[in-house]
């Protein structure tokens, strides 16, 4: 499930498209909430490529490691507390990356 941010932007272009995930699956519900927070309408385009150039460590965490970890925990049906912790970290770090991208400096 690497590069999930790119996948999510395609899969969830509208806020209600995430409703296609199973509603009875607590992992799907939590993922739906996280993806909606990550793919907010005020998320500036271009942040992910900029992040790859400017902060490759953060890029790897946000685009590769955390989505892969969330996928692994979901597939293993790990305790929801562990799954929630990864999603919380992912959303929080993504928000921080958005803040870095908004800071007044050359983000090109």
Torsion of CA 20, 70, 84, 37, to 10 degrees: -50
Cα–Cα dist 98/1, whole Å: 21
| pLDDT digits 0-9 by tens, 52-67 | 999 999 999 999 999 9
Answer for the pair 65, 3: CB distance below 8 angstroms, yes or no.
no
pLDDT for 68 beyond 90: yes
pLDDT for the residue 13: 47
Classify residue 70 as exposed, middle or buried by CB count within 10 Å of its CB (0-12, 13-18, 19+). Answer: buried
pLDDT for 107 beyond 80: no
Cα–Cα dist 28/34, whole Å: 10
Q: How many of the other CB atoms lie within 10 Å of CB of 4?
A: 22
Q: Where are the domains of the chain?
A: 4-102
Cα–Cα dist 37/94, whole Å: 9
pTM above 0.85, yes or no: no
When pLDDT is cut at 50, 70 and 90, the band that residue 103 belongs to is confident
């Amino acid at each position: 499930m690497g590069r999930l941010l790119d996948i999510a932007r395609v899969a969830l272009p509208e806020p209600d498209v995430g409703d296609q995930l199973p509603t009875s699956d607590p992992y799907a519900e939590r993922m739906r909430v996280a993806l909606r927070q990550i793919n907010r309408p005020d998320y500036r385009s271009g942040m992910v490529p900029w992040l790859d150039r400017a902060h490759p460590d953060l890029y790897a965490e946000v685009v590769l490691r955390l989505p892969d970890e969330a996928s692994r925990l979901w597939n293993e049906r790990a305790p929801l507390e562990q799954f929630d912790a990864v999603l919380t970290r992912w959303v929080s770090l993504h928000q921080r990356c958005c803040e870095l991208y908004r800071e007044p400096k050359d983000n090109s």
